[in-house]
Structure 1
Amino acid sequence: MTYYYNGFPQSDRNEKLDMVNVEELEERVKDVMPEGAYYYIASGSENEWTWRNNTAAFNHYQIVPRALTDMDNPSTETEFMGMKLKTPIMISPIACHGIAHKDAEIATQQGAAAAGALFSSSTYANKSVEEIAAAAPEAPRFFQLYLSKDWEFNRMVFDAIKKAGYKGIFLTVDALISGYREANLRTNFTYPVPLDFFTRYLGGKGEGQSVAQMYASSAQKIGPADVRRIKEESGLPVFVKGVMCAEDAYLAMGAGADGIYVTNHGGREVDTAPATIDVLPEIAAAVDHRVPIIFDSGVRRGSHIFKALAMGADLVGIGRPYLYGLALGGAKGVESVIDELNEELIINMQLTGCKTIEDVKHAKISNIRYTADNLPSNTDPTRREAYPKTAENQIKVEADADATSGASKH
């Protein structure tokens, strides 16, 4: 079934997803999502070099397997800022989940809560922070802030998120204006569904606006004093989101930031910026465990999560994959994406002798710069050619074989 908002089709699915990996959802989601909405998610800025290399650069680092570890049954449970989580995977903030599903951020929060993951919602969310909180009252959540030029707007946001039980703020500092997103220009994308905070404060502003127009209402000038002011006026922990070098980590901590969020906005802002995994070691060394580190951009595998944790992150965010899961399966689709990545992470933990997430943070990672690629496996449907069928290569099923598996009952 499909729900329509002023003619814009929204998925209303709520079902577990069958997948081999989360990357395959990017192609499948085209069946349920309009072209402009799809490319709003599945694209980067300019030539998309950073967008592609965020994922490819994980191949610069290798997980060193360990043997004779005398260990089994790894656990992905972890603790973060006093919150007990079932997984180190976090739902990174993305605007306008309504382009993927009619229940928007409500369904995303429900899926994250079912998987035991930290959820974060955007200033540009479709659903209200009150509705999101009511969907999973006991679940932990953070709020991503696009600081407004209008401090009355900011104070309205602070008041609302505190009353709704949000545990902290991610202050976005890497998207003061929109990157040059050519896919959005080619499809004339504008936000098709109302954004709650703009509706309640400005009477509907947001729907029908482009990404660049929305960013224009945010502050283009943010400095250390703003971090201090947000902490003071909100009374909540503040992470600085968009740190890509040691110098900015020092600035953020000097301003009193409670945490560092390493991200390049998924390759949607400065094209040819380095991949986040390549800058993580420098930032982790600068932070030196004084505050927590969150990491995202380009994460598509459990091995990516393992590497980020081993190289200094405390939580690892995912973005595009969960929106594809949301469109294809609603809350259960989001849960399916987290579960798939968790399953891959657990395999890597077992094969490296890491019983806990804390063990992963001390795992051995090598840095041998192979001429690496980022191609899918040879069995991936996008690469695999039809396998020849001949009289000599076909398996003959015994008459009394199991009908489902093909295995002999003997």
Structure 2
Amino acid sequence: MTRYIKGFPQSEADEDLKFVNVDELEERAKEVMPEGAYYYVASGSEYEWTWRNNTNAYNHYQIVPRSLTGMDNPSTETEFMGMKLKTPIMISPIACHGISHADAEVATQKGAALAGAMFSSSTYGNKPVEEIAAAAPDAPRMFQLYLSKNWDFNQMVFDAIKAAGYKAILLTVDALVSGYREANLRTDFAFPVPLDFFTRFQGAKGEGQTVAQMYASSAQNIGPDDIKRIKEMSGLPVIVKGINCAEDVEVALTAGADGVYVTNHGGREIDGAPATIDVLPEVVKAVNGRVPVIFDGGVRRGSHIFKALALGADLVGIGRPYLYGLALGGPHGVASVINELNDELKIDMQLTGCKTIEDVKHARLTHFEYAGDTRPSSTDPRVRKPYPVTAVNQIKKDGTDAVSGASHH
């Protein structure tokens, strides 16, 4: 089933998905998502070198199998900041889930709860945080904050998420401006579904925000003092999202951060930045057990999750795969993605004698380097394949489509 909002098609699916690995969903999602929306999700910045190498770099680390361990039935249950989870997999925050499904973040939260995973939602989400929380009242959740220049807006957000039972704030510090995302430029992408916090703060002016408007309203100057101010105003722990080196660990923790989040925004900001798995060991060493560490970037396999945990992460986030699952299967599609990755993780745990997630954190890895690649972006006309036209992935011409304004290009 498909619903339309001002001509934009939104999936209403809710079903378990059958697939062999999560990579298969990327191509299948094209059948139900409009081209601009799909490429907003499925692309990085510039040449997309960092986007690709976030996944490729897991090959730098190899899992050492263990034999004769006398162990079976490994458990992926874990705990994060007092929240009990069935898996160390986290739903990383991404804006505008409404481009994948009519129920947007509500559906994603339901899927995360079905799989027992941590959920996080974005400042630029479509659904009210109150509706998200009501969809799974007892499920653990955190909130990703794009700090606004307007502190009245920030206070509105803080009050809403605290009342809705969010347990921590993920303060984004690595996306103060948008990276040069060629896919957005080539498809003239603008958010076709209203972003709730903009709408409740600005009324009708908050509908149909563009990428440019979104970033223009956020703070481009964030410093250590902001961490303290956010903690005081919100009354919630603050985890700094976008840490990639030891120096920034010390700045964040000295300022009072309650955790660090290793990410490069899925390769959507600086192209040419190192893969997150390659900077994780440096960050973990600098943290030295003082606070929890969240990690994401290019996760497509249970073995990727295993390696990140073995290198010191406490939670491992997934991004694009769950949005494809959301588009194709709604809440159960999201759960299908999490469960597949969790099942793969269990296989690696069994074959290394790791009974628990704590055991995985002490598993042995080996390491070697290799050369990366430099290729055109996936939306470059030289390599771009024709986008499929289906009955449900087209914007209706009789609707009022979102006005583009993603950039001056």
Question: C-alpha deviations, 1:145-200, integer Å up to 9, x for none?
Answer: 00000000000000000100100100000011111100000000000000100110
Secondary structure of the corresponding residue to residue 58 of structure 1: helix
Question: C-alpha deviations, 1:264-299, integer Å up to 9, x for none?
Answer: 000000000000000000000000110000000100
Conserved? CA contact 2:49–2:271, under 8 Å: yes
Offset at residue 212 of structure 1 (A)? 2.4
Q: Does 1:318 align with 2:330?
A: no
Conserved? CA contact 1:37–1:99, under 8 Å: yes
Question: C-alpha deviations, 1:349-400, integer Å up to 9, x for none?
Answer: 0000000000000000100235689xxxxxxxxxxxxxxxxxxxxxxxxxxx
In the superposition, the TM-score normalised over structure 2's length comes to 0.90
Q: 1:131 corresponds to which letter in structure 2?
A: E
Secondary structure of the corresponding residue to residue 119 of structure 1: strand
Match of 1:224 in 2: 224
Conserved? CA contact 1:60–1:372, under 8 Å: no
Conserved? CA contact 1:171–1:240, under 8 Å: yes
Write the distance in 2 (CA, Å) between the matches of 1:210 and 1:44.
17
Match of 1:348 in 2: 348
Conserved? CA contact 2:249–2:260, under 8 Å: yes
Write the distance in 1 (CA, Å) between the matches of 2:221 and 2:342.
38
Conserved? CA contact 1:93–1:144, under 8 Å: yes
Match of 2:89 in 1: 89
**1:9-408 equivalence runs, <5 A:** 9-369=9-369
Q: 1:183 corresponds to which letter in structure 2?
A: A
Task: After superposing the two structures, state which structure 1 stretch, 349-358 or 360-369, moved more.
Answer: 360-369
Secondary structure of the corresponding residue to residue 204 of structure 2: coil
Secondary structure of the corresponding residue to residue 160 of structure 2: helix
In the superposition, the TM-score normalised over structure 1's length comes to 0.90
Write the distance in 1 (CA, Å) between the matches of 2:37 and 2:296.
22
Write the distance in 1 (CA, Å) between the matches of 2:238 and 2:145.
10
Secondary structure of the corresponding residue to residue 201 of structure 2: helix
Conserved? CA contact 1:206–1:214, under 8 Å: no
Question: C-alpha deviations, 1:303-349, integer Å up to 9, x for none?
Answer: 00000000010000000000000000000000000000001000000
Secondary structure of the corresponding residue to residue 90 of structure 2: strand
Write the distance in 1 (CA, Å) between the matches of 2:27 and 2:205.
32
Conserved? CA contact 1:155–1:234, under 8 Å: yes
Offset at residue 211 of structure 1 (A)? 1.3
Q: 1:33 corresponds to which letter in structure 2?
A: M
Secondary structure of the corresponding residue to residue 142 of structure 1: strand
User: CA 1:346/1:269 → structure 2, altered by over 3 Å: closer, same or farther?
Assistant: same
Offset at residue 206 of structure 1 (A)? 4.4
Offset at residue 209 of structure 1 (A)? 3.0
Task: After superposing the two structures, state which structure 1 stretch, 31-40 or 208-217, moved more.
Answer: 208-217
Write the distance in 1 (CA, Å) between the matches of 2:269 and 2:69.
43
Write the distance in 2 (CA, Å) between the matches of 1:130 and 1:164.
5
Write the distance in 2 (CA, Å) between the matches of 1:170 and 1:251.
16
Q: Which runs of 5+ in 2 are unaligned?
A: 374-409
Q: 1:306 corresponds to which letter in structure 2?
A: F
Aligned-residue Cα RMSD (Å) equals 1.0
> Which structure is higher in RCO with an 8 Å CA cutoff and minimum separation 6?
2
Conserved? CA contact 2:200–2:206, under 8 Å: no
Write the distance in 1 (CA, Å) between the matches of 2:204 and 2:16.
34
Match of 2:400 in 1: none
Q: Which has the larger radius of gyration?
A: 1
Secondary structure of the corresponding residue to residue 149 of structure 2: coil
Offset at residue 213 of structure 1 (A)? 2.1
Question: C-alpha deviations, 1:191-243, integer Å up to 9, x for none?
Answer: 00001001100113444332122111000000000001001110100000000
Q: 1:122 corresponds to which letter in structure 2?
A: S
Write the distance in 2 (CA, Å) between the matches of 1:29 and 1:51.
19
Conserved? CA contact 2:198–2:207, under 8 Å: no
Match of 2:391 in 1: none
Write the distance in 2 (CA, Å) between the matches of 1:153 and 1:118.
26
Write the distance in 1 (CA, Å) between the matches of 2:122 and 2:202.
17
Write the distance in 2 (CA, Å) between the matches of 1:131 and 1:10.
18
Secondary structure of the corresponding residue to residue 242 of structure 2: strand
Conserved? CA contact 2:17–2:329, under 8 Å: yes
Q: Which runs of 5+ in 1 are unaligned?
A: 374-410
Match of 2:383 in 1: none
Write the distance in 2 (CA, Å) between the matches of 1:205 and 1:351.
55
Conserved? CA contact 2:63–2:366, under 8 Å: yes
User: CA 1:200/1:234 → structure 2, altered by over 3 Å: closer, same or farther?
Assistant: same
Conserved? CA contact 1:97–1:126, under 8 Å: yes
Match of 1:376 in 2: none
Match of 1:382 in 2: none
Match of 1:394 in 2: none
